[in-house]
Chain A
């Protein structure tokens, strides 16, 4: 069967947003994302303009999945970070458990600064995610939202 759902609640979401906001300021980043390794955006903070955040998250996850497999092929367990440096914009991705902290930055910042601040923030991110995972397990078994979904609810999506 499919894996049980991962649930994030309002309070955890706000805590996560606060961490991302701090990372964004400390890194002088354009935008900071937290992305599930399956490619779903969990939260972000910063200036996204007209960026398609859903596609961005999916591609970030695909990118890390591909580099992690390459790591295994050369005998590494995992590449804990992935960096793409462009002429103006750059991307730093840090793997935190089954999530990715993605920092998009430009010439106002440096890779060294981003790495340092992202590493410090990774502990806070991991804490919140652990909390969410534990609560997810409890909530799946005790949340009436799922049990109350009726066949009519599902059918109405396709009408």
Chain B
């Protein structure tokens, strides 16, 4: 839920990166964190296991600039991708303003992508949201690997509503900011419509 503070003149929005395990959600946040000026970001918090798998969430606040005299701050979250952390995923979706689905483009991860996307739709519904009504972007990650599914095939399986699609290699930053911009723009446009 967008929080607007007239006293501090701030607009705060929540964006969640969703997707199957090891698809690159944390890598997206890590790249944004590494490439952003210190004054525009807070700390990157990772609640991870000893083997660096996300246990609960990763979080970083990012300031993009001002709109009509209000600072816009985006709170970026990732969910744990592994199937058995579903309870945590539901919690992180509470109050979400926009979602990025990070798909793993490797052939052998197609089923995991489909399962995770169903899981996203289901978990949004339990929180009272409809994916079709929510600011949403699809990112096809790991496009640099040799065994990737063609974009058309991935799109056919994963597109839900004509959402923006970005090919990405999160580890080197390709497509990372394009994805973020697309979802942030939708969130602010939605605010205007409300």
Contacting residues, chain A, for B75 (C-beta < 8 A)? 39-40, 54, 58
How many inter-chain contacts with C-beta < 8 Å in the A-B complex? 128
- The reply to whether B3 and A6 contact each other, CB–CB distance below 8 Å, is yes
- The reply to whether B3 and A38 contact each other, CB–CB distance below 8 Å, is yes
Which residues of B from 93 to 109 have beta carbons under 8 Å from A? 94-98
Contacting residues, chain A, for B95 (C-beta < 8 A)? 3, 36-39
Which residues of B from 46 to 98 have beta carbons under 8 Å from A? 47, 56-57, 59, 61, 64-65, 67-68, 70, 72, 75, 87-88, 90-92, 94-98
Nearest chain A residue, comparing its CB with the CB of B96:
A2
Residue picked from A36, A69, A146, most chain B C-beta under 10 Å: A146
The answer for the CA separation of A9 and B47 in the assembled complex, in Å, is: 33
- The reply to whether A3 and B1 contact each other, CB–CB distance below 8 Å, is yes
- Interface size (B, Cβ < 8 Å)? 50
- The reply to whether B3 and A36 contact each other, CB–CB distance below 8 Å, is yes
CB of A81 within 8 A of chain B?
no
From residue B105, how far is it (CB to closest CB) to chain A in Å? 25
Interface residues on A, range: 35 or more
CB of A157 within 8 A of chain B?
yes
- The reply to whether B6 and A10 contact each other, CB–CB distance below 8 Å, is yes
Contacting residues, chain B, for A69 (C-beta < 8 A)? 87, 90-91
17 other A-B residue contacts (CB within 8 Å) besides A10-B6, A40-B75, A62-B56: A1-B129, A1-B130, A1-B133, A1-B190, A2-B98, A13-B7, A36-B1, A36-B95, A38-B1, A58-B45, A62-B91, A65-B94, A66-B56, A154-B67, A156-B65, A156-B67, A157-B188
18 contacts between A and B (CB under 8 A): A1-B190, A2-B1, A2-B98, A6-B3, A13-B8, A37-B95, A39-B59, A39-B95, A58-B59, A58-B75, A62-B92, A65-B94, A149-B67, A154-B185, A154-B189, A157-B67, A157-B72, A158-B185
| B→A interface (CB under 8 Å) | 1-8, 12, 14, 42-43, 45, 47, 56-57, 59, 61, 64-65, 67-68, 70, 72, 75, 87-88, 90-92, 94-98, 129-130, 133-135, 181, 184-185, 187-192, 194
